[in-house]
């Protein structure tokens, strides 16, 4: 039954491994090491200098564990903050890679398409309206209100995008980005209304949070985020080959056996969860989700099985560096990190646009 | 007796199938594709050829009528089951992100959980589609004709180790030069014959259809106007289909060749 055609033997013998796993783990390893180094370096920077023996305080079981001074700063402020930055960055990188894969375009990004704005608008509404209503909500539930409302906002925008993208020319990134402009404007209007209605205390809360900041970091927050990211990654792993098939187009993906509708719904819910929780805990941090997948695609190829994990590491690395700079550039004050990512990300987006100009029309 | 054998050998069966696209109605289509049969769909532009193919591939929903694939309703097949027995090559062959060609070809087999011979199949499918030299390159760096070969290789890989399957192709030869058209048509024929796969192909070139296909489905104005064997008897129906006059000749091997002339000369001829 095998065809009697001559097969050229020029290919590397590792083709099977490449096709099954998506290539060598080299870049993943490099990114992991870079991330670890950045993590160790970032906790050194700040108002209080950290000494080597501060690292050992937790291992010192001889006397009572009382963290004081610089060791307290290291273990209870810097480390959870750095881990939180890495995890939020990973969530943003993953949601960016998923969005780009879903819309089959490197310019698709939860930020530009208004998903982040939708999450922020919903969360803003819950800050101003819900807290104004004085509902008898148990204390333990309160910390989930913001994430859940932000998730609902993100989900709403995602489904709206999915619909609208089909009405106007399917596959056209221009139509998609224009829809993103409209949704961003809508989100901004709702947030503006919240700002207008807010009390003084709520206003401080709102403005700090819309600029994007990791100041809310704690071991609890980092732990919760990890508990969210691990199942998300497990879920993504199951559909990662199908994400590659999506690059063929929806019809062709269905013909090779992919349930495209189910895949789209899963990706949309995942993107909404990741964006919603990131926004609820840190406000709007832009451009990580756009830049990270693009960088790893340029460095190591477009195979989604590699792009998604690498984007997570790259996103974590980028946000960690940005946050360290934001913490240290104006000690003792702290600049919101969202300002930095936008400052770096906007020119990057313009470069992307220039490279894509042929395909935009 | 003859009836019985045909139903036994039937691979795909359409029974009064209609579809509606916007304000345009298509059908009803009644036809049977037998196992290992090679069928060409011909018709003027906009006649509904692609619509018919999309009905066969389940890409388009029927508004009425029944489609049966391998004695089960087509709608009851899961996409994964279907992908192991049926490959579809659509007209539009865009691939996002510039994936590498070997990955694109291997995506034909993405729904198989365990695929130990994947790399071999990808290489052999590429060689059969005259695309072995294109392996390892980015899809978006290829010319239109090269992209068409990679997409054809993807179809080959998808049903490589199956038999009695179905291949649906929409103008596979459109972007190719004449030499490659003959090579790929020969590959397609050889591939399908070896595995007893049936082919249903939309074609523009009447001679390709006459030489490589046993049966012609002629589509015009959303209707199946003729379902005939591909031989000299088909010529009058083809003239009607395109509103042209066809001059027939034979080459040295005895193959029938047709050359179209303008419809006005046909009118003069009949007058």
Residue A202 tokens read as 């709520």
Q: Which of B81, B85, B110 to mutate to test the interface with A (most CBs of A within 10 A)?
A: B110
**Chains A and B: how many Cβ contacts under 8 Å?**
115
CB A285 within 8 A of CB A338: yes
Q: Mind listing the pLDDT tens digit for each residue in B150-170?
A: 999 999 999 999 999 999 999
Q: How many secondary structure helices (H) and strands (E) does chain B include?
A: 10, 12
The average pLDDT across A329-357 equals 81
Residue B134 has pLDDT above 90, yes or no: yes
Looking at CA atoms only, how far is residue B262 from chain A in angstroms? 37
Residue with tokens 């065809």: A3
Residue B90 in tokens: 């659509």
Residue B62 touches chain A, beta carbons under 8 Å = no
Nearest residue, CB atoms, A5 vs list B79, B83, B128: B128
CA distance B217 to B215: 7
Report domain extents, chain A.
30-43+71-356
Nearest chain A residue to B82, by CA? A257
Collect all residues of chain A within an 8 Å Cβ-Cβ radius of residue B128: 3, 5
Q: What is the pLDDT of residue A142?
A: 67
The whole-number pLDDT of residue A204 equals 79
Residue of higher predicted confidence among B267 and B39: B39
Q: Rounded to whole angstroms, what are the CA distances from A3 to A28, A203, A268, B162, B187?
A: 38, 72, 42, 13, 10
Distance CA(B173)–CA(B67), nearest Å, equals 28
Closest CA to B112 of A3, A23, A242: A242
- pLDDT value of residue B264: 59
Cis check: omega of the bond before A237, within 30 degrees of 0: no
pTM of the shown model: 0.88
- At residue A4 the predicted structure's pLDDT band, cuts being 50, 70 and 90, is very low
Which residues from chain A sit within 8 angstroms of residue B79, using beta carbons?
254, 257-259
- C-alpha dihedral (A205, A207, A212, A213), degrees to nearest 10: -40
Domains along the sequence of chain B with CATH: 2-85+162-270 (3.40.50.300)
Confidence of residue B267 (pLDDT cuts 50, 70, 90): low
By percentage, how much of chain A surpasses pLDDT 70?
Answer: 86
Q: Which ranges constitute the DSSP H helices of chain A? A: 15-21, 26-42, 52-56, 69-72, 79-102, 115-125, 131-133, 139-167, 173-197, 200-210, 219-238, 240-246, 250-255, 260-282, 288-300, 304-328, 337-355, 357-360
Q: Which of residues 239-258 of A touch B (CB under 8 A)?
A: 241-242, 244-249, 251-252, 254-258
Rounded to a whole number, what is the distance in Å from the CA of B253 to chain A's nearest CA? 25
- What's the whole-number mean pLDDT along residues B165-183? 89
ipTM: 0.89
Q: A3 at the B interface (CB within 8 A)?
A: yes
Query: How far does B58 lie from chain A, in Å, by closest CA?
Result: 9
Q: So what CATH class is A30-43+71-356?
A: mainly alpha
Lowest mean pLDDT, pick from A23-32, B150-159, B231-240: A23-32
- Could you tell me which residue, B259 or B157, shows the higher pLDDT? B157
B186 vs B184: CA distance, rounded Å: 5
Contact B131, B149 (CB under 8 A): yes
* DSSP state for residue B199 in the 8-state scheme: E
Q: Which residues of A touch B137 (CB under 8 A)?
A: none
């Amino acid at each position: 039954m095998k065809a009697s055609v001559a097969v050229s033997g020029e290919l590397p013998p590792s083709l099977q491994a490449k096709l099954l796993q998506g290539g060598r783990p080299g870049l993943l390893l490099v990114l992991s090491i870079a991330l670890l180094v950045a993590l160790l370096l970032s906790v050194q920077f700040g108002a209080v200098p950290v000494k080597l023996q501060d690292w050992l305080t937790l291992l010192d079981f001889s006397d009572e564990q009382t963290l004081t001074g610089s060791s307290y700063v290291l273990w209870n402020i810097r480390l959870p903050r750095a881990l939180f930055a890495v995890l939020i960055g990973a969530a943003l990188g993953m949601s960016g890679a998923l969005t780009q894969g879903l819309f089959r375009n490197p310019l698709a990004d939860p930020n530009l398409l208004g998903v982040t704005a939708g999450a922020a608008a919903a969360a803003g509404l819950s800050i101003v309206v819900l807290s104004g209503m004085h509902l008898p909500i148990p204390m333990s539930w309160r910390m989930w209100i913001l994430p859940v409302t932000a998730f609902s906002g993100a989900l709403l925008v995602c489904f709206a995008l999915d619909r609208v993208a089909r009405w106007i020319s399917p596959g056209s990134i221009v139509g998609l980005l224009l829809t993103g402009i409209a949704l961003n404007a809508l989100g901004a209007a709702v947030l503006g209304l919240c700002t207008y209605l807010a009390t003084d205390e709520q206003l401080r809360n709102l403005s700090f949070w819309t600029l994007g900041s990791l100041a809310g970091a704690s071991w609890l927050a980092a732990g919760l985020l990890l508990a969210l990211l691990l199942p998300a990654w497990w879920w993504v792993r199951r559909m990662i080959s199908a994400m590659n098939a999506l690059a063929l187009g929806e019809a062709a993906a269905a013909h090779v056996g992919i349930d495209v509708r189910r895949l789209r719904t899963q990706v949309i819910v995942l993107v909404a969860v990741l964006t919603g929780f990131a926004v609820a805990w840190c406000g709007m941090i832009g451009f990580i989700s756009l830049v990270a997948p693009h960088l790893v695609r340029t460095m190591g190829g477009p195979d989604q099985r590699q792009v998604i994990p690498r984007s997570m590491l790259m996103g974590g690395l980028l946000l960690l560096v940005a946050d360290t700079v934001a913490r240290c550039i104006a000690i003792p004050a702290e600049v919101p990190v969202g300002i930095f990512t936008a400052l770096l990300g906007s020119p990057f987006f313009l470069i992307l646009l220039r490279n894509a100009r042929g395909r935009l029309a | 007796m003859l009836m019985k054998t045909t139903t036994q050998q039937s691979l795909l069966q359409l029974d009064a199938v209609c579809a509606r696209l916007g304000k345009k109605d298509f059908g009803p289509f009644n036809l049977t594709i037998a196992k290992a049969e090679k069928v060409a769909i011909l018709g003027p532009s906009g006649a509904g050829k692609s619509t018919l193919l999309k009905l066969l591939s389940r890409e388009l929903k029927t508004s009425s009528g029944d489609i049966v694939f391998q004695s089960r309703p087509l709608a009851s097949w899961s996409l994964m089951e279907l992908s192991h027995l049926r490959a579809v090559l659509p007209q539009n062959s865009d691939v996002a992100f510039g994936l590498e060609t070997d990955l694109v070809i291997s995506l034909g087999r993405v729904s198989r959980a365990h695929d130990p011979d994947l790399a071999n199949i990808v290489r052999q499918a590429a060689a059969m589609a005259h695309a072995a030299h294109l392996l390892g390159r980015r899809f978006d760096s290829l010319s239109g004709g090269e992209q068409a070969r990679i997409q054809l290789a993807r179809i080959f890989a998808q049903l490589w180790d199956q038999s009695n399957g179905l291949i649906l192709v929409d103008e596979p030869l459109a972007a190719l030069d004449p030499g490659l058209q003959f090579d790929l048509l020969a590959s397609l024929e050889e591939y399908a014959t070896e595995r007893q796969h049936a082919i249903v192909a939309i074609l523009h070139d009447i001679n390709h259809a006459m030489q490589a296909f046993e049966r012609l489905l002629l589509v015009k104005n959303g209707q199946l106007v003729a379902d005939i064997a591909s031989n000299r008897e088909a010529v009058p129906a083809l003239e009607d289909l395109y509103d042209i006059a066809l001059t027939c000749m034979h080459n040295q091997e005895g193959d029938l060749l047709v050359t179209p002339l303008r419809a006005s000369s046909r009118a003069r001829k009949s007058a």
